[in-house]
Amino acid sequence: MVVKDVVKDADGTVHTRYERTYAGLPVLGGDLIVHRAADGAVKDVTKAVKAAIKVASLTPKQTPTAAKSAAVKAAKVARTAGAATGEAPRKVIWAADGKPVLAYETVVSGTQDDGVTPSLLRVVTDADTGKKLYEQQLIDDIADGITARGGSAAAKPGSPQVGAVGTGASQYSGTVNVNTTTSSKGFDLVDTVRGGSSTVDFQHRTGGKGVLFSDADNVWGDGTPGNNQTAAVDAAYGAAKTWDFYKDVLHRNGIKNDGRAPVSRVHYGNAYQNAFWDDQSFTITYGDGANNQHPLTQLDVAGHEFSHGVTSATAGLQYSGESGGLNEATSDIFGTAVEWNANNAQDPGDYLLGEKIDIFGNGKPLRYQDQPSKDGRGSADYWSAGVGNLNVHYSSGVANHFFYLLSEGSGAKDINGVHYDSPTVDGSTVTGIGRDKAVQIWYKALTTYFTSTTDYHGAREGTLKAAADLYGAGSAEVRAVDAAWAGVNVKA
């Protein structure tokens, strides 16, 4: 048992998240959380899988070379161009689905089928039969089917000297302050107050390390996409406001709670209509949108991508099936919360994702949390038995809708200048408890009750427990959580 994370409640309850090994091999799907009372007594254990971890033999019938070939073949089927892997497959126990088996895990790199987005495809194959058991794209993005994602090593800023505060003209958030450091070039876009957060220019390339943004007078951008620094201002501001939200509202010190910030990378590719999180390089990357005029650097997108890192560092929700929908929704939920918490008059809080980036070219947002199906792209308003078969950007609709109902309730209303109309599956009325409480409940559930395999019914159970922890068993908040899940057809 290897400790991954520890959360301590105000009453002294300690939630310890473990990754599991078997005969020295990592167990994929073997994660669990032990909940201990203040006196050390075990109150409960939350497991990703119930099955006992045991395999008949640790000697594979398939060779690592065969596993590598199978993984590359799977990547080619997934239309990965230039599919290749330079690392030997890792021997693991696959326990996330059904009976635990000895398996190989291989990460295949290449380019996704848009011809721009780098791919990191994780493929798990049975070590005895060679059958593919699972595949997962390790690059987490904001959108699907428009363009795509990417990832490579980030630039490392030089040793910062003295912190300073610059002025930036952003495209989406007006004139903002950005933290910088002095350098031989004047000022570098590095925020030492927030974990060394830095912003680099990818110069419309899709490879390399990028160039750290520097400026002579500490006045950045002009508010238009034609100025190379404008997108950097939005990215740096978004990183700062996301960091502040996690620290001030959720008392989390960065993505891994270790005080280290990711690198933000702008101007990726040419007219690239997406943004993504890369856990391996610990970076957030932004394209410049259609005609390089609509960078995906809006505040809620920054919060969305940062939050993919938080999910990886905590529950580790697998990025496929229902757990993948919960992963994507978690980023939407916290991205929304970041926008509200920033309280920026130029980008006021709402329950619309990416409403300013015009990703479809028709002025409509990327996603709607009050009624996800309004996107017209297949997002689910309610749970059904087949929802896990949807792309994760669309299956996320169930949790997004739950969050809106829990925050604001059902029915028609105008909030902060935006009209919403949120229907429940059965026409029932849900009364919201406010966004602040809804955010606390979701974060508590993510960090103390969700595991890598949590599905929607598991999320219901986890959020009910989280609400009881925070506000008391039988509280109005617990009842509201139950009602909101019922409103999206997730019931006991």
CA distance 197 to 408: 34
CA distance 153 to 285: 11
Sheet holding 175-183, edge to edge: 214-215, 186-188, 175-183, 163-169, 219-220
Active-site residue (options: 105, 135, 305, 461): 305
Helix, strand, or coil here: 245?
helix
| Nearest residue to 384 via CA among 425, 423, 422 | 425
CA distance 396 to 11: 33
For residues 430 and 424, is the Cβ–Cβ distance under 8 A?
Answer: yes
Q: How far from 165 is each of 26, 110, 178, 237, 306, CA to CA, in Å?
A: 45, 40, 6, 12, 23
DSSP output for 289-328: -GGG-S-S--HHHHHHHHHHHHHHHTT---SSHHHHHHHH
Active-site residue (options: 355, 393, 401, 408): 393
Largest CA distance in the chain: 67
| Residue 393 annotated in active site | yes
Considering only CA atoms, give the Rg of the chain: 22
Q: How many CB atoms lie within 10 A of CB 459?
A: 29
Q: ∠76-79-81 over CA atoms, to 5°? A: 75
Write out the catalytic residue numbers: 305, 393
